[in-house]
Structure formats: structure tokens, C-alpha cells
């Protein structure tokens, strides 16, 4: 009876050992797959941001040009109104000059002369305003030209970046989908508690590494030395061992060699 119990315990111990080993293999495979996904996303990760920045710049330039064009319309309207005002003043001057020929006394003559002088001053002021509006309009026209040139350049850059992004997405989409599928398969072999721990470690790790090997007696993540007894425990595959410094899950060379691309 005792012998059967001992054999049963040995079998249970072996089953636990296999189970832990399989978990370690799944964890290491999951890490490698997730790292590849990280690389794919990092590879194209900056391009969407660059495209967004270019789209924002293009939109900003278009808005700026539209505002400039509205200002130009406003100045053109002002210039047209001042020209009309000048014609009206010139017509009044002619009218007053004709009236001067028929005045009956000096007082009427002086009064009409003041009206003529007022209209001439008004013409001079309108001409000054026209010159000012024309100068502003010319300045805006130069700014529109510069902005339009910049807009064309950024539009060309945007087209090139979009083509580059689409090319990379097409190139990596199938690979990423395949890796995501494999990642999900690996996650299915890992118990929830361990999977949560793995994801938490990955999130906190700067390089996204939650499962690392031993390199020259040191942790492959933080490079701190691992005590010999811990290394021995890692090699037995009887339990999950984490680095006492960085908290990463540690695997030995045997687990790493079992990983297949």
C-alpha cells in the first residue's frame, strides 16, 4: 500500500514538473512572439504620428491661406469703396466749381471754396487709405505665396508618408495577424494568475521583456547576478522562478532551445 502511494506521488510530481515546464515553454514562446509584435508596431509606430502631424500642418496651412484670402477680399473691398468715394468727391468738386461761377458775394465763394477744400482733403485721405490697403494686400499676397509653396511641399510629404505607411501595413499585417494568433494560443496554455503577472511585468518593463534567460550567471533583463541555488531551481523546472531584483520570470537554456520560430 505504501509502495503504491509512493509511486502515485512520484507520478504526481512528474506531472507537476511537466506542467511547469510546459508553462515555462509557453511563457518564453509568448514573450518571443509578443516581442516580435512589439518590433512590428515600433517599426511603423512613428509613421502614423508623422502622418498625423503632416495632416495637422496641412490643415493649418489651408486655414491660414483661407484667412489670408478673406483679408485680401476685405482690403480689395476697402480699396473699391475708397475709389468710389474719390469719384464722388471729384464729382462734388466739379459741382462746387460750377457753383463758384455763379456766386453773388464773397461769403458764398468762400463757403464753396471750403467745401471744395474739404473734398480734396477727403480725396487725399482716401488715396492714403488705398495705398495702405494696397500695401497690406501685397504683403498678404506674398504670405499666401509662401504658404501655398509650403502647403504643396507638405502635401507631397504627406502623400509619400501615407504611401510608406500603407506599404508597411500591407507588408506586416499578415505577419502581425499570424503572431497575434500564436500569442493567443500561448496565452491559452497559461493559467490566468500567471498570465496577469506576465502582462503586468511586461507593462512595467522598459523593453517589454517579462521572460528572460540566464546570461553568464546573470538575469537577462536587469543583468544582476543570480545565486547558484536559484540557477539550480530554474533548471529543475519545478516552479516558476523570478529575478529577485527586477521581478522578471527566468528560464534556463533548455527552455530557450525548445523555442521554435
- 25-40 pLDDT, tens per residue? 999 999 999 999 988 8
The residue ranges of DSSP E strands in the chain, in sequence order, are: 211-215, 218-219, 241-242, 249-251
pLDDT above 50 for 9: no
Mean pLDDT of 201-215: 91
**Among 139, 160, 188, residue at a domain's last position:** 188
The closest alpha carbon to 248, from 66, 214, 81, belongs to 214
Judge whether 223 lies within some domain: yes
Residues 149 and 72 reside in one and the same domain: yes
pLDDT digits (tens, 9 = 90+) for 61-104: 999 999 999 999 999 999 999 999 999 999 999 998 998 888 88
Q: Are residue 48 and residue 72 in the same domain, yes or no?
A: yes
The predicted pLDDT at position 226 comes to 92
pLDDT of residue 103: 80
Specify whether 136 is located in the same domain as 195. Answer: no
Which pLDDT does position 202 carry in this prediction? 92
Judge whether 22 lies within some domain. no
Asked if residue 172 and residue 55 are part of one domain, the reply reads yes
Of 124, 153, 188, the residue that ends a domain is 188
- Residues 6-19 have a mean pLDDT of 41
Q: Are residues 48 and 115 in the same domain?
A: yes
Q: CB within 8 A of 85, min separation 6: which ones?
A: 122, 126
Examine residue 88 and state whether it is found in any structural domain, yes or no. yes
Q: Does residue 258 form part of some domain?
A: yes
Neighbours of 27 (CB within 10 A): 24
End-to-end CA distance of the chain: 47
Specify whether 64 is located in the same domain as 176.
yes
Q: What pLDDT, in 10s, does the model give residues 236-248?
A: 988 899 999 999 9
Q: Taking Cα atoms as reference points, which of 132, 246, 152 lies closest to residue 124?
A: 132
Does residue 30 form part of some domain? no
- DSSP sequence for 32-71: HHHHHHHHHHHHHHHHHHHHHHHHHHHHHHHHHHHHHHHH
Tell me: pLDDT of 12 over 90. Answer: no
Give the pLDDT confidence of 117-176 residue by residue, as tens digits. 999 999 999 999 999 999 999 999 999 999 999 999 999 999 999 998 888 888 788 888
Q: Which of 162, 188, 214 is the last residue of a domain?
A: 188
Do 105 and 83 share a structural domain? yes
Burial readout 173-207 (b: 16 or more C-beta within 10 A, e: otherwise): eeebeebeebbeebbeebeeeebebbeebbeebee
Q: Are residues 130 and 205 in the same domain?
A: no
**CATH code of residue 170:** 1.10.287.1490
Number of domains present in the structure of the chain? 2
Query: Are 60 and 144 contained in the same domain?
Result: yes
The answer to whether residues 53 and 155 belong to one domain is yes
* 146, 82: one domain: yes
* Domain region containing 240: 191-261
Kindly state whether residue 136 falls inside one of the protein's structural domains: yes
pLDDT cut 90: percent of the chain above it: 64
Inside any domain, residue 56: yes
Amino acid at each position: 500500500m505504501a509502495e503504491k502511494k509512493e509511486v502515485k506521488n512520484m507520478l504526481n510530481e512528474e506531472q507537476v514538473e511537466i506542467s511547469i515546464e510546459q508553462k515555462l515553454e509557453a511563457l518564453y514562446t509568448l514573450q518571443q512572439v509578443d516581442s516580435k509584435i512589439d518590433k512590428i508596431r515600433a517599426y511603423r509606430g512613428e509613421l502614423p504620428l508623422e502622418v498625423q502631424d503632416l495632416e495637422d500642418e496641412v490643415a493649418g496651412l489651408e486655414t491660414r491661406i483661407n484667412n489670408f484670402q478673406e483679408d485680401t477680399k476685405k482690403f480689395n473691398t476697402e480699396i473699391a469703396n475708397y475709389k468710389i468715394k474719390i469719384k464722388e468727391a471729384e464729382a462734388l468738386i466739379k459741382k462746387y466749381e460750377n457753383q463758384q461761377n455763379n456766386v453773388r458775394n464773397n461769403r458764398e465763394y468762400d463757403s464753396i471754396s471750403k467745401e471744395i477744400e474739404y473734398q480734396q482733403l477727403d480725396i487725399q485721405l482716401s488715396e492714403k487709405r488705398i495705398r495702405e490697403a494696397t500695401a497690406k494686400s501685397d504683403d498678404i499676397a506674398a504670405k499666401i505665396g509662401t504658404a501655398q509653396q509650403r502647403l504643396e511641399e507638405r502635401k507631397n510629404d504627406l502623400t509619400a508618408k501615407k504611401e510608406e505607411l500603407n506599404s508597411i501595413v500591407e507588408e506586416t499585417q499578415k505577419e502581425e495577424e499570424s503572431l497575434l494568433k500564436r500569442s493567443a494560443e500561448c496565452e491559452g496554455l497559461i493559467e490566468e494568475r500567471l498570465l496577469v503577472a506576465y502582462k503586468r511585468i511586461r507593462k512595467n518593463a522598459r523593453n517589454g521583456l517579462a521572460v528572460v534567460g540566464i546570461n553568464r550567471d546573470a538575469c537577462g533583463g536587469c543583468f544582476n547576478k543570480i545565486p547558484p541555488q536559484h540557477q539550480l531551481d530554474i533548471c529543475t523546472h519545478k516552479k516558476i522562478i523570478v529575478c529577485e531584483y527586477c521581478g522578471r520570470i527566468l528560464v534556463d537554456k533548455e527552455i530557450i532551445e525548445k523555442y521554435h520560430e
